Structure 1
Amino acid sequence: MEQAILKNLRTNHHILAKFIDGYSLEQLNRIPDGFRNNLIWNIGHVIVAQEGLIYKSSDLPVHVSKELIDKYTVGSVPDGKATQEEVEEIKKLLFSTLDQLEKDLKDGIFKEYHERQTKTGFTISNLNDALVFTTFHEGIHLGVMLSIKKFL
């Protein structure tokens, strides 16, 4: 099942990378009327959420900076000022974090997991739950992005 989840995440991250490649910095930063975030925030958020759901909840170090976590964590609001350098960093993290996750799963580094409740009401009890929820979570944000792009 892990391989199917990783394949799903990798496919989604390729879709997210196409947003970065297909839209200008201004478009990535634009928050359309009626929305509370933008394209780049949604992409940064799925990376930060994955790290928190999988690594932080397993008492392992995350692979993103504290600055990115603060800027893209749940409940944060984008300022519409992501730089081109930040966008490029996010694009690299789309794949480097997945590569790291795949390696760490193969290496069996995940030994414990602290159960958590998501804002959507899911109880995540273990690593497998976290992996499954991550695909669901990313699907939600891809849907939001598909709605946002209609207004750019």
Structure 2
Amino acid sequence: MMEYLLNVTRQTRENFIKLIESSTVDELNAIPQGFNNNIIWNFAHIVASQQGLCYLLANAEPVIESQYIAPFRKGTKPEKFIEAEEINTIKELMRSTIDQLEQDLKSDKFINFTPFKTHYGVEIKNADEAAQFFVVHDALHYGIASAMKRVIINNEK
């Protein structure tokens, strides 16, 4: 079951990468009217959230640098323009972090997990449940980013 859920997460992330690749850097950084963040923030937020929910809550060392976690955590907003080079790095992290997570779940790296209640009202008691939660979380942020893209395109016309 876990392999299936991780594959659904991978597919959502690949769909998100296609959205990123079909957008300009300016579109990715634009904050559409009615929103408080942008497409690239939602993209990076997925990676940051995975690190927080799985690694940090288990008192394990994150597998990415803090510069890709802190600015994109829940409750943050875009603070700077994200250039193409950094966008490409985040794309690489989008793929590599899910692969690393799969390995770390198999090796029982997350034994000291601190239970956490999400904004959905769902309690996550271990890293396996956190990984399962990403199916919903990633899809939500992909959907938000897709809506932003439609607003941006319609405003460009």
TM-score range normalised by the length of the shorter chain: over 0.9
**Tell me, which stretches of 5 or more residues in structure 1 are unaligned?**
none
* Residues 28-47 of structure 1: CA deviation (Å, up to 9, x unaligned): 10111011111100000011
- The one-letter code of the counterpart of 2:19 is F
Find the counterpart in structure 1 of residue 3 from structure 2: 3
Find the counterpart in structure 1 of residue 126 from structure 2: 126
Secondary structure of the corresponding residue to residue 50 of structure 2:
helix
Alignment of 1:76-95 (within 5 A): 76-79=76-79, 81-95=81-95
Alignment of 1:3-152 (within 5 A): 3-79=3-79, 81-152=81-152
Secondary structure of the corresponding residue to residue 90 of structure 1:
helix
* Count of equivalent residues: 152
* Cα distance between partner residues in 2 of 1:145 and 1:17: 11
Q: 1:80 Cα shift? A: 5.1
* Cα distance between partner residues in 2 of 1:127 and 1:146: 28
State the TM-score, normalizing by the size of structure 1.
Answer: 0.94
Task: State the 4+ residue runs in structure 1 displaced beyond 6 angstroms.
Answer: none
Q: Percent identity?
A: 32
Task: Please say if residues 31 and 80 of structure 1, whose CA atoms lie closer than 8 Å, have aligned partners that are also in contact.
Answer: no
* Cα distance between partner residues in 1 of 2:101 and 2:137: 17
**Tell me, which stretches of 5 or more residues in structure 2 are unaligned?**
153-157
State the TM-score, normalizing by the size of structure 2.
Answer: 0.91
